[in-house]
């Protein structure tokens, strides 16, 4: 009987701790865990060039948060793999330093093309889509 009471007490403490942690992180409705593996690609003609890039990625796949915008200045061709939570916008844009023609793509799991665009010479290019829920 004493062992049963101890086990029940431990379970109550663990359950209460779990509820407290979930509520600390925004409650049950904000914990999703459903996210998409997204690959952003940007290329240019001519190929070797420097561009200003921005892209969206989710800071935490286990919480429903708006993707953060990350800024970078990188040579092309450029790719990055990120996580974007379900139902959120996946977006990449790039601005050339000269008259290059930029192309962007958003891929799901590195294979399925979700969005693609080619800009005009010297102009910004933007690709965006909303991930499925």
Tens of pLDDT, residue by residue, the chain (133 residues): 667 656 555 555 555 555 554 455 544 444 456 888 999 999 987 776 778 888 888 877 666 666 677 776 777 888 999 989 888 899 999 888 888 899 999 999 899 999 999 999 989 999 999 988 8
Phi, psi of 21 (to 5 degrees): -65, -45
The distance from CA 83 to its chain's CA centroid, rounded to whole angstroms, is 4
Tokens of 116: 């693609």
How close are the terminal C-alpha atoms of the chain, in Å?
Answer: 48
Q: What is the largest CA-CA distance in the chain?
A: 80
Kindly list the distances between the CA atom of residue 20 and the CA atoms of 13, 26, 28, 63, 125, in Å, as whole numbers in the listed order.
10, 10, 11, 16, 45
Residue partners of 79: CB distance under 8 A and separation at least 6 = 39, 40, 41, 42
Does the predicted TM-score (pTM) go above 0.85?
no
């Amino acid at each position: 009987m004493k062992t049963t009471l101890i086990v029940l007490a431990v379970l109550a403490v663990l359950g209460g701790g779990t509820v407290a942690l979930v509520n600390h992180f925004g409650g049950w409705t904000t914990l999703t865990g459903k996210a998409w593996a997204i690959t952003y690609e940007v290329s240019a003609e001519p190929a070797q060039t420097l561009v200003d890039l921005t892209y969206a990625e989710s800071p935490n796949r286990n919480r429903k948060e708006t993707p953060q915008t990350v800024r970078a200045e990188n040579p092309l061709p450029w790719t990055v793999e990120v996580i974007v939570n379900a139902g959120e916008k996946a977006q990449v844009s790039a601005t050339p330093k000269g008259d290059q023609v930029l192309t962007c793509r958003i891929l799901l799991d590195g294979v399925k093309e979700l969005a693609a665009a080619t800009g005009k010479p010297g102009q910004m290019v933007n690709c965006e889509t909303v991930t499925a829920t």
